């Protein structure tokens, strides 16, 4: 998950920090190549277009760290409730009505539809669809009955997969349901953030509540409706429509210039630059020398203490395959980006943000996954978080003499837009998982189905919700895993227990914490027994290699804040590459590593995940992650009364160098 906005001070200092950049960058290249490697040298920066080299990033002030780690309220979409239809209970009855054998019914319940190999796929899908429709209609009626007894009118919509959304649209707003960042008395404008309310799960609906109270307080109505729907016992689950966050700081920042006016090219069209050579080695991308996170681990020439060993994998001619598909559930993908437009590594995606106010692109669900930004108010900047994440996985064309390298040179990236202005709603994220895994289609405003015909092998979710794992989310994850999909998720960025954050606290996910360029646990990374492994997430508050740039992860992200040209040490108005930090940045490294291993081995699903954990992990030392208890209020003392605390961080660090020859 990404770091805080560049401050005005950092913006002013960026050109100074860039002094001598060309010389330093050349020195980094020499160190990476060992000073005497044969073959073509690095691309000269002044020989590539400005848009292929200008970047943003300076080492951030230490006094911002405390605010970065400060707790934040849990937010929900006001009046929005998710209820689960009893689909599983309906399956057996539906199968029986269709005249299917009893052993099929038993298998249906015990193993799931995809384990039934003796029936045609269309029959299996027919059973599932009919069961979902029947169960959803029952849930719709039951929800309407409960709302009727409360005296609340609500809109009830059935989504694919047995998820029913209840919207208490008729309830009036109150001070407890103001928009995020909106002051009392301030009129809503087009720039105002989408409506949201703070959620405390311990708050209860009063035993005696009047109709007037419910009609005038949306937060109270939401709380009471959830409590009554749960008490009815008619649903698999009842939960608020949580708002997930990608970890982007929402403080005011210089507003970026409008995006390019060029029409985005459709994914998979002829690229504007020659396709990369299908060989390994070190890529010729001009900013690759600053991507320490891809280097082999170590302190020698061409190494980094925090590197994940991608370069070793590439040099062994393992650069990936487009038969491996990675869905990125995030803010979408900027198809106008100079390192992405026309990329052969990108296929058609989807925008699943139902609320046009949150979407920011003027419409609801459609097949346009363009990253339209996620600003949270008029004074904040778009993060283009999904574009940065997807670039690390491989959406950015590699070895094309433009910008940065991606983790997998060849891969198929499927952008799934579920995060918009001020975050993303749980209901859309659940739909995104089901769509990416090929379980259920999406439905646009016209009632037309949008079917995913390229089921993902890997789903990347660099997002979090500070709540127990929502049942709707767990159900979608389980369904995806049953279809042989690996779900890779971020641990969270609050230096806290990962058990407090979903989807890191869900089952059947691969949980990724963040390490820094020194090979240590990043100061912000969540920790605990839920963590499976660490991967490079960076630290923009440090410059451990003294190259004049922050130890963040460099990838594709357009901005106007702190931009400079490393070829001549001058500031620029706009740039397309940024250093970010977070478990959001660590997670795509693992997704890219899985894609490389899948292309090398042909493995998928649980076998691929096991291969990663047994072949591509550098184990931690016995004292890894320990810290003075006084510096970490959420860590656990290693012994009673000990001043030293432990931060469990999984089995080890991602290291693809170890997977060679396996």
Catalytic residue annotation? 330, 385, 584
Residues 431/459, Cβ–Cβ less than 8 Å = no
* Cβ partners under 8 Å of residue 70, min gap 6: none
Tell me the β-bridge partners of 158: 164
* Torsion sign (Cα): 453, 458, 464, 467: positive
* Cβ partners under 8 Å of residue 560, min gap 6: 254, 255, 256, 257, 573, 574, 575
Rounded-to-integer distance, Cα 94 and Cα 154, Å: 29
Residues 1/535, Cβ–Cβ less than 8 Å = no
Quickly count: other Cβ atoms within 10 Å of residue 156's Cβ: 18
> What H or E segment, with its residue span, contains residue 618?
strand 617-619
| Backbone angle region of 41, left / alpha / beta, with phi > 0 → left and psi within -120 to 50 → alpha | beta
Radius of gyration of the chain (CA): 25
Q: How many alpha carbons lie under 13 Å from residue 75 in its C-beta half-sphere?
A: 21
One-character DSSP codes across 409-429: SEEEEEEEE--BTTBEEHHHH
Rounded-to-integer distance, Cα 296 and Cα 316, Å: 13
Residues 21/566, Cβ–Cβ less than 8 Å = yes
Residues 389/585, Cβ–Cβ less than 8 Å = yes
Rounded-to-integer distance, Cα 609 and Cα 480, Å: 14
HEC assignment per residue over 106-153: HHHHHHCHHHCCCCCHHHHHHHHHHHHHHHHHHHHHHHHHHHHHHCCC
Residues 556/395, Cβ–Cβ less than 8 Å = yes
Q: What 3-state class would DSSP assign to 150? A: helix
**Structure-token match 């410059």, residue found:** 543
Instruction: Report phi then psi at 443, rounded to 5.
Output: -130, 125
Residues 238/82, Cβ–Cβ less than 8 Å = yes
Distances (CA, A) of 95 to 88, 137, 563: 11, 17, 61
Rounded-to-integer distance, Cα 208 and Cα 355, Å: 33
Residues 216/412, Cβ–Cβ less than 8 Å = no
Rounded-to-integer distance, Cα 346 and Cα 264, Å: 13
Give the relative orientation of helices 121-150 and 218-232 as an angle to the nearest 10 degrees. Answer: 120
């Amino acid at each position: 998950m990404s770091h805080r906005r560049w401050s005005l001070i950092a913006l002013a200092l960026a050109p100074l920090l860039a002094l001598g950049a060309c010389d330093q960058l050349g020195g980094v290249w020499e160190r990476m190549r060992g000073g005497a490697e044969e073959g073509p040298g690095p691309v000269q920066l002044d020989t590539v277009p400005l848009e292929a080299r200008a970047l943003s990033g300076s080492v951030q002030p230490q006094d911002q760290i405390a605010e970065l780690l400060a707790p934040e309220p849990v937010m929900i979409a006001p009046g929005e409730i998710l209820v689960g239809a009893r689909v599983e209970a309906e399956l057996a009855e539906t199968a029986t009505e269709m005249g299917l054998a009893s052993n099929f019914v038993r298998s249906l319940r015990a193993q799931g539809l995809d384990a039934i190999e003796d029936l045609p796929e269309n029959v299996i899908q027919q059973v599932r669809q009919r069961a979902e429709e029947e169960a959803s209609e029952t849930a719709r009626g039951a929800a309407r009955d409960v709302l009727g007894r409360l005296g609340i009118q609500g809109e009830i919509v059935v989504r694919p997969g047995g998820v029913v959304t209840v919207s208490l649209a008729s309830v009036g707003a109150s001070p407890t349901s103001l928009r995020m960042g909106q002051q009392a008395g301030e009129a809503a404008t087009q720039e105002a953030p989408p409506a949201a309310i703070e959620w405390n799960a311990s708050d209860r609906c009063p035993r005696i509540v009047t109709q007037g109270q419910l009609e005038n307080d949306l937060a109270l109505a939401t709380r009471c409706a959830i409590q009554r729907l749960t008490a009815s016992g008619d649903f698999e689950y009842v939960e608020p429509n949580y708002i997930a966050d990608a970890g982007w700081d929402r403080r005011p920042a210089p507003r970026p210039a409008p995006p390019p006016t060029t029409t985005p090219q459709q994914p998979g069209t002829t690229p504007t630059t020659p396709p990369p050579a299908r060989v390994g080695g070190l890529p010729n991308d001009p900013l690759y020398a600053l991507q320490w996170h891809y280097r082999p681990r170590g302190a020698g020439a061409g190494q980094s203490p925090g590197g994940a060993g991608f370069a070793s994998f590439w040099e062994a001619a393992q650069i990936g395959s487009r038969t491996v598909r990675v869905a990125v559930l995030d803010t979408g993908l900027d198809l106008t980006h100079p390192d992405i437009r026309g990329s052969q590594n990108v296929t058609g995606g989807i925008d699943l943000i139902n609320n046009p106010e949150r979407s920011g692109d003027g419409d609801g669900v459609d097949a346009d996954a363009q990253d339209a930004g996620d600003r949270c108010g008029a004074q904040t900047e778009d993060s283009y978080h999904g574009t940065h994440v997807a670039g690390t996985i491989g959406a950015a064309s590699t070895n094309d003499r433009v910008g940065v390298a991606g983790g997998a040179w060849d891969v198929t990236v499927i952008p799934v837009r579920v995060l918009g202005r001020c975050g993303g709603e749980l209901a859309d994220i659940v739909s995104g998982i089901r769509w990416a895994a090929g379980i259920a289609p999406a439905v646009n405003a016209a009632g037309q189905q949008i079917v995913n015909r390229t089921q993902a092998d890997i789903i990347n979710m660099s997002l979090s919700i500070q709540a127990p794992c929502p049942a709707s989310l767990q159900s979608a994850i389980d369904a995806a895993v049953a279809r042989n999909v690996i779900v890779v998720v971020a641990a969270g960025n609050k230096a806290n227990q990962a058990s407090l954050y979903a989807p890191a606290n869900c089952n059947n996910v691969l949980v990724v914490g963040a390490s820094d360029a020194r090979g240590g646990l990043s100061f912000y990374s969540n920790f605990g027994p839920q963590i499976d492994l660490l991967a490079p997430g960076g630290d923009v508050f440090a410059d451990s290699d003294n190259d004049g740039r922050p130890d963040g992860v460099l990838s594709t992200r357009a901005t106007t804040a702190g931009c400079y040209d490393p070829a001549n040490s001058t500031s620029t108005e706009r740039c397309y590459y940024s250093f970010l930090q977070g478990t959001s940045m660590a997670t795509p490294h693992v997704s890219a590593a899985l894609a490389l291993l899948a292309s090398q081995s042909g493995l998928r699903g649980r076998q691929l995940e096991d291969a990663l954990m047994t072949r591509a992990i550098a184990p931690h030392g016995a004292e890894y992650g320990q810290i003075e208890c006084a510096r970490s209020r959420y860590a656990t003392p290693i012994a009673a009364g000990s001043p030293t605390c432990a931060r469990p961080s999984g089995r080890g660090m991602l290291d693809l160098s170890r997977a060679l020859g396996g």
